Amino acid sequence: MARIKNMGHSTVRFNEGVIISGSAGSDTKTLIVTGSMVLSGSASKPAIDIYSNVSGQYVAIIDNDEGSNGHGLKVTTDGTGTGTTILDLEAGTSTVFKVRGDGRVGIGVGTPLYELDVDGKINSSDDLYVSGNLYVVDTAGLYVDKIRRHSDSDNTTKILLNDELLKFYAGHSSDDIARIGETNYGNDNNFWVSGSIGSKDSSTRGTAVLGGDVVTSGSMYIEGDIYLGPPASAATRLYHAGNTDTYFAMYSNDSFEFVIGGINYLKMKEGATDWIEFNKNNADVDFKLWGTNDSNPAIFLNAGEESLRFNAGLKANVSEIGDGSFPYTVDARDYLITCAGSGARTINLPAVANESGRILIIKDSNGSSGAGNITLDPSASEQIDASATYAIGSNRESVTIMCDGVGWAIISRYQP
């Protein structure tokens, strides 16, 4: 093999390939180039192919001793597409680092799909800034100890992952405002809030869907409506803590009830037949309705004695009927009917259906019934004291009648 040695500063051009081995004089380098070197290859062969089989030594070293603007390596290509590889570093047959002409870089990825495509873990000992969105696929996970707003200090807006506890901090306070997984106040996975939970505004309301129990150690203030359901549910109950026999229940048939200690104290229903029931279980429970007297209730129903006592004045509806209003038909609100006017006058009594136990008082208020009777006329063929009618014929006379479910009975009569 021909040898070329110590050519100094001359220029040499080779039109064929060159194989260099050995060393250049006393220097240990095989080839020393102090000027420019131009190497050109072909479509089938690379411009430079460096091969070695050494252990513990680098095959190639690029060393620039320039301290301020000393550049190391620049690789350029006119290709900009996905088929252009600018730099390809391999270990064995696996790609370690690849740079493509379309700007995508792969680490451990032979065909990068993103601007930076990494097969493996990424570790950063300093901050990581993302100006766009950060996506984590469903099969992977995002593992961090702290998520903080970039423009805030460390003690303001952030999410802190502390062991199995998730803490939320807002910019107005250095204390956490919410915790998920708090174990100091009950079972695991509790949701702890140090402040208020509110809707966005009055027109766009927020929704809270809770799959477990909600326990508050303080008061709960709600300015809007509370909906319990779902509406199609047969029963929705609001229980006393620790006592399932005490609750407020709402039913799908537009009724509700208050049950205390297993006793149905109050039940109400709206519909074709409206009703209110007290003490549905027939328990020995007294009913008391208090007024302004702190010593005695205004109305007292003694369940044991089955008696009703009124400790306050009793007022009933009074209907004053004068000339021009006769014949007068008794109204559902009537109790005392005072009749003025003159001449023959008729009062039509209601049909006895649904009137059993009703009491009516009819009074000649101006003392004119002696000159013109006031006739009480039952409905259709119904009777009053076994007669078709009853006539008040004495001045200032009054009668009290009661419906017995079949007809009307006179239970008292007053004649001056």
Q: Which CATH superfamily is domain 318-414 in?
A: gp9 (2.60.120.640)
What confidence score (pLDDT) does residue 186 get? 56
Q: Which residues pair with 161 in a beta bridge?
A: 166
Asked if 306 and 286 touch (Cβ cutoff 8 Å), the reply is no
Asked if 71 and 62 touch (Cβ cutoff 8 Å), the reply is no
Taking the C-alpha atoms of residue 308 and residue 289, their distance in angstroms, rounded to an integer, is: 11
What confidence score (pLDDT) does residue 1 get? 47
pLDDT tens digits, 277-288: 888 777 888 888
pTM for the whole structure? 0.45
Taking the C-alpha atoms of residue 237 and residue 197, their distance in angstroms, rounded to an integer, is: 24
What confidence score (pLDDT) does residue 270 get? 80
DSSP secondary structure letters along 176-205? EEEEEEE-TTSSTTEEEESS----S-SSS-
What confidence score (pLDDT) does residue 353 get? 95
Taking the C-alpha atoms of residue 1 and residue 266, their distance in angstroms, rounded to an integer, is: 116
The residue ranges of the chain whose pLDDT is under 70 are 1-35, 138-140, 149-156, 162-164, 171-173, 181-215, 229-233
Beta strands in 69-221 (DSSP E): 85-91, 94-100, 105-107, 116-118, 146-148, 158-162, 165-169, 176-182, 190-193
What confidence score (pLDDT) does residue 51 get? 80
Asked if 236 and 253 touch (Cβ cutoff 8 Å), the reply is no
What confidence score (pLDDT) does residue 172 get? 63
Hey, where are the domains in the chain?
85-118, 146-193, 235-278, 318-414
